[in-house]
Amino acid sequence: MFFKKHNNILFFSIWRDKYIRRTISNNRLKNKVIPLGVGYLERNHEYFELLDRSSFNILLEIVLDNIELQSLIKSEYSSLIDSLNIDLCKAEHVKMWDQTVIFKLPFYLKRITLTTSLETRFDLKCLPNTLEYLSIALRKINVVGDLAPGTALKTLILHDCPANYLARLLMPTLEHLVLDSFQGELVLDTLPSNLKTLAVNHGRAPIGTPPDSLTDLRMNERPIEALVNITAPNKIYPNVVAKVDTPASFELVSQLKWLTHIIISNATVVGTNRIPSHIRKLVFNQYNLPLPLNLLPRGLVSLEMGMFNQTLVKKAFPAHLKTLILPHFNTPVEKGVFPVALESLSVAACLYPLDLPPQLKEITLTHLCVLPPNPPRTLKTLIVKGGRGGEIDIPKNSIPPFISTLILQGEIKVDSFHLPLPTIRAIHFQRTTSIRLSLPTELIPPSVTDLSIDNHICISPMIPNSVEKLLITEFSNRCNLPASLKRLDITASDFVYEPYVGHYIPINLTQVKENLRSSIKNPSCTIKINGIFYQ
């Protein structure tokens, strides 16, 4: 107790020094955007005034709902915002944008997001020429006009964008472009010469040659035939995913040298060929044949084989493989089969003998949590998925004492857990669709400080007083939140699950905040709703 008290006194003595506090905060928040409600900003403005936001690229983003927008227009917070020189604004909770609002905001904007649930018309000339970041959901917004002269737009995000809209917004200063459901054919040769990142989600694949400045091209899964019209000599784009379904399409892989991530549907696609050497990530969906020694490229770092359950031999895997996902694999493995560099492993079960690699950091098991004797002490994260019946079995003393994070996934029906009380620091329930209301209090060990819970869980009897960080996707004002809580994250505030009613209830965001304030026992607890700090 003496050392603990002494350390606390020393910490607070250091923390009171503004220079030290500023240095620590600047480095922790470097290159980050901090979304804030105006109320949170008002209560914590002295802290933000300490930050060297210019040198460390720290951006403060004001997020407005209907009530806070009206307060801002009335200049209730104008002096505070002006004093901090805030240059970001986001209004996702505003149901309808009135372009006259832009002129009433008491500061110049550099970033703005326009969304609405109602049909509306918006004139781009109303936006200030200081704008650097623009995000528009075009499903309900009819955009007219052009950006003001002198606008040096750097980031553009468009949802449901018609082809004719894009040409009007492609400023020569643009560096980052995101197109979600683009309604046309994107010609890469027409993009600005300064563009650094391009994300094309859904819609048709682009064609042509990307600008030399483009270092990051992102596309979700596409047939490889749709990518052959992209010419990118001397480029590598690891965030493009290609699907290979036929032997003919497999032959295209060797032609696209810029492509490093492919999904192969079955073994007949490959035949006796070897996968090209430039592939770094590979998903083999239906492969369940003995693994030839020369099939996989030596530079492969990530491999997923969804159906594989065959006896493995030494040197079947590349030496530099770091991630291996074999969700149906439950075959004994001799020593030296898994690569030494492996850091993440997913198997159905650990059947003896199973020799785990010495650098393993994370392991995923299905249904039964049983590890082989003497697992490496580098292992810190254990993930257990529900089996066919959805049940997870964690026998007594099955979790090594050096495991600090436990993640439970799937349709989990919990009768009893045997968790090591003094070691688990974080537990995350993910996609747990079968946990219901009658959970024992002792389910969560008192050592847990970081807890996240998702669907259909009544959390009131579950949270021990040790929990400091809590993430939930559903909130009820009947939740009994512990006094130890320092940070509460809610990721779905528009529809809140009410266990006594039994379904999702749409709820006003302002009401959610009021319910939270009445439920929080710790006045210094930080509340974050959908990624935005409100308290």
**Phi/psi at 224 (5° precision):** -65, -25
Contact 216, 197 (CB under 8 A): yes
Cα separation, 195 vs 216, in Å, equals 9
Radius of gyration of the CA atoms of the chain, in A: 27
Query: Which two structure tokens, joined as six digits, stand for 348?
Result: 């159905």
Q: What is the rounded CA–CA span in Å between residue 305 and residue 473?
A: 31
Q: Say which amino acid occupies 174.
A: L
Could you write out the three-class secondary structure of 339-406? CCCCCEEEECCCCCCECCCCCCCEEEEECECCCCCCCCCCCCEEEEECCCCCECECCCCCCCCCCCEE
Residue positions counted in the chain: 535
Q: Note the pLDDT of residue 194.
A: 94
User: What pLDDT was estimated at residue 93?
Assistant: 37
- Neighbour-count burial for 195-208, b at 16+ CB within 10 Å, e otherwise: bebbbbeebebbbb
In SS3 terms, 93-136 reads as CCCCCCCHHHHHCCCCCCEEEECCCCCEEEEHHHCCCCCCEEEE
Looking only at the bridges linking them, the beta strands covering 197-201 and 120-123 are: unpaired
Domain ranges of the chain: 366-446, 468-535
- pLDDT for res 331: 86
Beta bridge partners of 423: none
| Other beta carbons within 10 Å of 108 | 14
**CA–CA dist 342, 360 (Å, integer):** 6
Are 25 and 53 a contacting pair, CB within 8 Å? no
Predicted confidence at residue 429, as pLDDT, reads: 81
Please give the C-alpha separations between residue 356 and each of 319, 329, 335, 343, in angstroms, as whole numbers: 14, 14, 8, 10
Q: At what angle do helices 2-15 and 18-28 cross, to 10 degrees?
A: 90
Q: From first to last of the 535 residues of the chain, give the pLDDT tens digit.
A: 333 334 444 444 444 555 555 566 667 777 777 777 666 776 777 777 777 777 777 777 766 654 455 555 555 555 666 565 565 555 443 434 445 455 555 455 677 777 666 677 777 877 778 788 888 877 777 778 888 888 889 999 988 888 778 888 899 999 999 998 888 889 999 999 999 999 998 888 999 999 999 999 999 999 999 999 999 988 999 999 999 998 889 999 999 999 999 999 887 788 777 899 999 999 998 889 888 888 899 999 999 998 999 999 888 899 999 999 999 898 888 888 999 999 999 998 776 667 788 999 999 988 777 788 788 999 999 988 876 666 777 777 778 888 899 888 766 555 545 666 677 899 888 766 544 434 445 567 788 889 888 755 544 446 788 888 888 876 665 567 788 888 888 776 554 444 433 334 444 556 666 667 677 777 778 777 766 666 6
d(CA 287, CA 392): 27
CA 473 – CA 488 distance, rounded (Å): 11
CA angle 239, 244, 245 (to 5 degrees): 150
Task: Give the closest residue to 369 by CA, choosing from 418, 404, 304.
Answer: 418
